[in-house]
Amino acid sequence: MPTLKSWLLYILLGLVTATTLVGAITLYIRLNNQQPLEILFVTPTPYVPALIKVYITGAVAREGVYPLQEGDRLEDALRAAGGPSLEADMEMVNLALKVKDEGHYHFPKKGEASAPSSAATTVPSASTGTRLNVNTATQRELEELPGIGQIRAKAIIEHRETNGPFQRPEDLLKVKGIGIGIYQQIKDRITVNP
């Protein structure tokens, strides 16, 4: 007489056989009724950089506003402006610098006192519509502001790293070494917004 274990084994074996048989029949029906399989190849859309505009002044062939692409470098901006003029001091320029939308880049002439040592000047001013974002500016960019030298630029960066981004331009008054006089000199040249 079969035991309980034997009956369970027979039932389990029957279920596995029935499941396999149903699966095989379903597969057979689907394969015989299907249309041929189509393989679609999707052509990726190439990345197109955004169009930006920069203002080029100084020792270049043609000063003006030029359209460039996001990710372009100062070398591309110089090429758009017709190249350097004969009096350009190219030793003072970092042509590898990436340009930013609405940036003002000034190419110094030989002997120009305000020329920085490694890049064309990014000129933040109210008259050009470009303001320096004190929440993202590098130390060198901050040093170009009137009254802000190496020590105050470093203090601005330390303050924003410790306390978070500035919420209003007036928050610069909380930085050690920046009083109302310096703030008045730079308030029209700075922003806290991207």
- Equal fold, 48-123 vs 127-194: no
Residue 90 confidence (pLDDT):
85
Each of the 194 residues of the chain gets a pLDDT tens digit; together they read 667 777 778 888 888 888 888 777 777 777 776 666 566 777 777 777 789 999 898 889 999 999 999 889 999 999 999 999 999 888 888 888 888 888 888 888 887 754 433 344 444 433 334 688 898 888 888 988 888 889 999 999 999 999 989 998 899 999 998 888 888 888 888 888 76
List the chain domain ranges: 48-123, 127-194
The CA–CA distances, whole Å, from 17 to 32, 37, 58, 61, 73 equal 23, 30, 86, 86, 70
Looking at domain 48-123, its CATH architecture is Roll (3.10)
Question: Topology of 127-194 in CATH?
Answer: DNA polymerase; domain 1 (1.10.150)
